[in-house]
């Protein structure tokens, strides 16, 4: 596994100033995997924060903004140029010579039957060229389902190394995770606590009491033992530090299985819409 198996820190829904403050605190707390996305609009703030850390100790994961690739005018959209522009902007905003991982953020929906394969392939080709130039070290995707991955592999020159997915106890995406792992991809989890809903599950609460841990720490530990890197986004300093408490204990096989059995299919509403659209034949 190339991606360090640890708790990652994310910068979603924050301003530049908030991202600067939060990332500084995250680095001080001990986070070394940082996740960002151009769509968040706060890369400059994050860039200021990471300048105070040793670059070779950080793993920076960045996603494109997906602007235009899924729009009604996508048929006339240049996926290569848009992705190239996005990567250059990210490098400039962060003030770094390279990013460790750059991901295509959301596949073009399959209902856009005339262009979805080409646009995904064009964006991937741009990522490959930046790897050749040494400006990106690893490349991957976010929210790609098996059929997206299968099609992308047909034209890909370099391997898909990472798939970032919505993952939590009630939505485990086993088919996609298994497919991704079978083809050599590491897994990251966005919304690993299901926007705080998972910590209210009675079985998780009881388990946390037995371990002397918080429900969030139990869930994050479950991710880590499945070799999934969870991305947490708390701006609360104490919670930020508490989340790293997932690193110092281990769940039993029985408890891992108990959490595995919490699958219900319940997931984030926005993802439901995109997934439904992508499923159109």
Question: In DSSP terms, which residues pair with 138 in a beta bridge?
Answer: 101
Say yes or no to pLDDT of 73 above 70. Answer: no
pLDDT at 276: 46
What is the Cα gyration radius of the chain?
A: 18
Region 5-26: what's the mean pLDDT? 94
Judge whether residue 249 has pLDDT over 90. yes
pLDDT at 196 over 80: yes
The mean pLDDT value for 253-260 works out to 98
Which of 44-48, 122-126, 268-272 is predicted least confidently? 268-272
* Joined tokens for residue 165: 């997915």
Q: How high is the pLDDT of residue 12?
A: 87
- Beta-bridge partner residues of 35: 10, 61
Work out the percent of the chain whose per-residue pLDDT is above 90. 78
Per-residue pLDDT tens for 153-188?
999 999 999 999 999 999 999 999 999 999 999 999
Averaged over 36-52, what is the pLDDT? Answer: 92
More confident residue, 277 or 62: 62
* Cβ neighbours around 35 below 10 Å, total: 26
Minimum mean pLDDT range among 9-23, 69-83, 121-135, 260-274: 69-83
Taking 90 as the threshold, does the pLDDT of residue 52 lie above it? no
pLDDT band of residue 139 (cuts 50, 70, 90) is very high
Half-sphere exposure of 135 (CA within 13 A, CB side): 16
Return d(Cα 125, Cα 104) in angstroms, integer: 11
Strands of the chain (E only): list them. Answer: 8-10, 33-37, 59-63, 99-105, 136-142, 162-166, 186-190, 228-232
Residue with tokens 């299901």: 194
At what angle are helices 79-94 and 116-132 packed, to 10 degrees?
A: 40
pLDDT higher at 137 or 73:
137
**How far are the Cα atoms of 79, 159, 177, 190, 240 from residue 184, in angstroms, in the given order?**
25, 8, 11, 19, 31
On the question of pLDDT at 275 being above 60, the answer is no
Residue 113 pLDDT: 74
Question: How confident is the model at residue 273, as a pLDDT?
Answer: 45
Cα–Cα nearest to 35, from 140, 157, 123, 113: 140
Report the range of poorest mean pLDDT among 34-38, 107-111, 227-231: 107-111
pTM passes above 0.85: yes
| Residue 109 DSSP label | P
Residue 131 confidence class, pLDDT cut points 50, 70, 90? very high
Structure tokens at 141: 């995707």
Pick the CATH number of 8-278 from 3.30.230.80, 3.20.20.100, 3.40.1190.20, 3.40.50.300: 3.20.20.100
Closest CA to 142 of 87, 190, 105, 192: 105
**Average pLDDT in the 91-102 region?**
97
pLDDT at 274: 52
What is the phi/psi pair of residue 183, to 5°?
Answer: -105, 25
Structure tokens at 111: 């209902």
* Domain parsing of the chain, residue ranges: 8-278
The pLDDT, as a whole number, for residue 27 is 97
The phi, psi pair for 175, rounded to 5°, reads -60, -45
Name the residues annotated as catalytic. 40
Average pLDDT, the chain: 91
Confidence at 77, pLDDT banded by 50, 70, 90? low
Among the listed residues 136, 43, 132, 64, the one whose alpha carbon sits nearest the alpha carbon of residue 98? 136
Burial of 62 (0-12, 13-18, 19+ CB in 10 A): buried
Structure-model confidence comparison of residues 214 and 80, the more confident one: 214
pLDDT at 280: 46
Beta-bridged to residue 10, according to DSSP, are 35
pLDDT beyond 60 at 277: no
């Amino acid at each position: 596994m190339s991606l360090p198996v640890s708790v990652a820190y994310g910068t979603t829904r924050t301003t530049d100033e908030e991202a600067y403050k939060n990332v500084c605190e995250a680095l001080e707390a001990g986070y070394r995997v940082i996740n960002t996305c151009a769509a968040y609009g706060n890369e400059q703030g994050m860039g200021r924060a990471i300048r105070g850390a040793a670059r070779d100790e950080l793993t920076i994961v960045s996603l494109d903004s997906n602007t235009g690739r899924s729009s009604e005018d996508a048929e006339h959209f240049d996926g290569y140029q848009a992705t190239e522009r996005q990567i250059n902007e990210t490098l400039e905003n962060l003030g770094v010579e390279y990013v460790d991982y750059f991901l295509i953020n959301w596949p073009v929906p399959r209902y856009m039957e005339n262009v979805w394969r080409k646009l995904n392939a064009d964006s991937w080709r741009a990522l490959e060229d930046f790897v050749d130039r040494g400006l990106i070290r690893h490349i991957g995707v976010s929210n790609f389902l098996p059929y997206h991955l299968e099609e992308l592999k047909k034209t890909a020159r370099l391997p898909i190394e990472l798939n970032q997915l919505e993952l939590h106890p009630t939505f485990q995406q086993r088919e996609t995770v298994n497919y991704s792992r079978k083809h050599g991809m590491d897994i990251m989890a966005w919304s690993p606590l299901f926007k705080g809903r998972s910590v209210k599950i009675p079985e998780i609460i009881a388990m946390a009491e037995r371990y002397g841990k918080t429900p969030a720490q139990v869930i994050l530990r479950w991710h880590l033992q499945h070799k999934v890197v969870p991305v947490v986004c708390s701006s609360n300093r104490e919670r930020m530090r508490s989340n790293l408490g997932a690193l110092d204990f281990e769940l039993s096989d029985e408890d891992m299985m108990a959490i595995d059995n919490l699958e219900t299919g319940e997931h984030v509403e926005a993802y439901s819409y995109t997934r439904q659209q992508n499923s159109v034949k």
